[in-house]
Structure 1
Amino acid sequence: MVKKILVIRFSSMGDIIYTTPVVRCLKEQLPEAEIHFLTKQQFKYIYNNNPYLDKLHILKPSLNETIADIKKENFDYIIDLHNNLRTSIIKLRTGIPASTYKKERIKKWLALKFKSERFINPKHLVERYLETVAFLGVKNDDKPIDYYINGSYEKTDLLPSSHQQDYVAFIIGATHFTKRMPVEKIIKTCKEIAKPIVLLGGDDVAQNAKTIEEAVGEKIFNTCGKINLDQSVYLVSQAHTVIGFDTGLTHISEAFNKPLVSIWGGTTPELLGVSPYKIKDSLIVDVDLACRPCSKFGLEKCPLGHFNCMNQIKEEEIINFSNR
């Protein structure tokens, strides 16, 4: 009998949100087992309030301390969904039987170098994560990802009355430049969307949001840099439609099964294996170019200078989907 399992994924937001079906399937299909999860401090919010998790562990500054804590728990198995140097050291020094996610680094490198999908594993990241627990008899339950909002909020506290019904949540932030649609194209898109629009993002896009707000007018309500991530997730969960780039909040939105426009620039969902997962209504918007993908995680500028992957995006696709 399996008594205790440790699942490990240290980062990043998007990758960790796609581990939630693994934790859920483990708990539901092995109800007698304790399911624990180890991650970094800055990502613990993803598993706060998750009913399928028995205990959340935080990676400590000293790996020795983390290893000591793991040894005390007497785990039966480690499910390593990160597969890096630190997790290798943890598995080696604890001696706990482990099942490890296959990153397929060479295939991804080949796909980037030759700009060809033929090297890429066609399975979604969730499905590949779940392969690590198949040896326990655990199967994919074909349900969406999980996210549990930490706070208790009301739209009346976060939005003006004009934006409390049937609004579009437009996530304009992303870590890297090549993942973001140019501000001019966002403005053009927003002007043609019939519904009220709530802009979501952090301090890094606060100036962009202000520019969009000034250009589009009252249709826009700007929250960028003004509310926290948990509140942003709540607003996404209440939206009529979500528009977003390749970024964590866009992926989290999939937990709420809202119509989603997923816009891709220098990165591709095929390379990362993170197309919208198990939601009823979604649209992937991108441009088929010989130079895509230019990177796995995004870059600070277009390597070729033209940024056609975003500049050639057809706003009409986004507008038509949002106006249904």
Structure 2
Amino acid sequence: MGDIIYTSPVIRCLKNQLENVEIHYLTKPSFKFLLDNNPYLDQLHLLQPKLADTISALKKEQFDIVIDLHNSLRSLLVKTQLGVKSSTYKKERLKKWLAIKWKINLIKPDHLVDRYLKTVAFLGIKNDAKAIDYFLPADALSIEKILPHYYNKPYIAFVIGATHFTKRMPNNKVIELCEQLNLPVILLGGKDVEDNANAIHQATIDKTVNMVGKINLNDSVTIVKNAAHVIGFDTGLTHIAEAFNKKLVTIWGSTVPELLGVQPYQVDHHYEAGVELSCRPCSKFGLSACPKKHFNCMKTIELEKIVNFIIHE
């Protein structure tokens, strides 16, 4: 989800900087909601169960250029079959492997947006230095409907979800952090972290509101959009917060943002919480358990620095 969110400046720059351009976007059906309301897109195509059917439908569009921001076997097959001029995002797989396996970091800390934009530079496209885009649907619920008790009141949105265990801070650390914060905390995340959310809420019942697994993503985005501060792990909703220039704390465990270029983009006030360790990073996208069994990348994060940023920033 985060990778798709960071393609939004590319879409915007293409639409605004080229004359009479028609932009189509191909993605999985599960990510349709991220692009449905983007005004810079002319048409959205969804991958069909059979790739041949997808390619057949795309051929009818008679494209002039294919921009491949995924660089996968599937996108290679699409490009090959369409047989038109193409430009492909360079993933630097070997350099990432060296950084993780041998801690030899040869990757420039360029943001993923800038890496993507290099793919369209041959068209004369320049970075417009604006934030990422996220467009809520016209019928999205207002904050008054989702959290009536917090309408026009300051609160902190805490995104406690993340796909992999090593990207989530242990419950006891989250509880300790919530207890030290000076504003009510709204817990956000998917059904996969409902048990975590219930444990955290029970321990901080006077400080937190548990919305985890109870609302859809766009409702969660509305809560983030209206928050005074946002705290989150390395996950899609945390990155979406960047679209609204939120005062943002990102918490990093086994992954490091510079490796993939996913540090907050065009955000005025941001604190990156992480610990320098010889074993970090241990993966690109997170793991189901700490390979070293100690999980010090999350367990030793200094909560005081997060609290100070929230209170004083």
- 1:145–1:277 Cα contact (<8 Å) kept: yes
**Partner SS state of residue 64, structure 1:** helix
Matches within 5 A, 1:212-291: 212-291=200-279
Aligned mate of 2:130, from 135, 143, 150: 143
Are 1:199 and 2:173 an aligned pair? no
Deviation at 1:317, TM superposition (A): 1.3
Deviation at 1:152, TM superposition (A): 2.4
**Runs (5+) with no aligned partner, structure 1:** 1-12
Give the alignment's Cα RMSD to 1 decimal. 1.1
For residue 100 of structure 2, what is the aligned residue in structure 1? 112
Are 1:28 and 2:13 an aligned pair? no
Matches within 5 A, 1:277-316: 277-316=265-304
- 2:131–2:267 Cα contact (<8 Å) kept: yes
For residue 7 of structure 2, what is the aligned residue in structure 1? 19
**Structure 1 runs of 4+ with >4 Å offset:** none
| Aligned counterparts of 2:294 and 2:124: Cα–Cα separation in 1 | 49
Change (3 A) 1:198 1:164: farther
Deviation at 1:258, TM superposition (A): 0.4
**Partner SS state of residue 50, structure 1:** coil
Aligned mate of 1:157, from 132, 139, 145: 145
TM-score computed with the length of structure 2 as normaliser: 0.97
**Partner SS state of residue 120, structure 2:** helix
**Runs (5+) with no aligned partner, structure 2:** none
For residue 50 of structure 1, what is the aligned residue in structure 2? 38
For residue 6 of structure 1, what is the aligned residue in structure 2? none
- 1:60–1:66 Cα contact (<8 Å) kept: yes
TM-score computed with the length of structure 1 as normaliser: 0.94
**Partner SS state of residue 60, structure 2:** helix
Deviation at 1:163, TM superposition (A): 6.8
- 2:144–2:151 Cα contact (<8 Å) kept: no
- Seq. identity, %: 58
Superposed CA offset, 1:155-197 (max 9, x none): 2221141575111000000000000000000000000101111
Superposed CA offset, 1:76-96 (max 9, x none): 100000011111111111101
| Aligned counterparts of 1:153 and 1:164: Cα–Cα separation in 2 | 15
Deviation at 1:218, TM superposition (A): 2.0
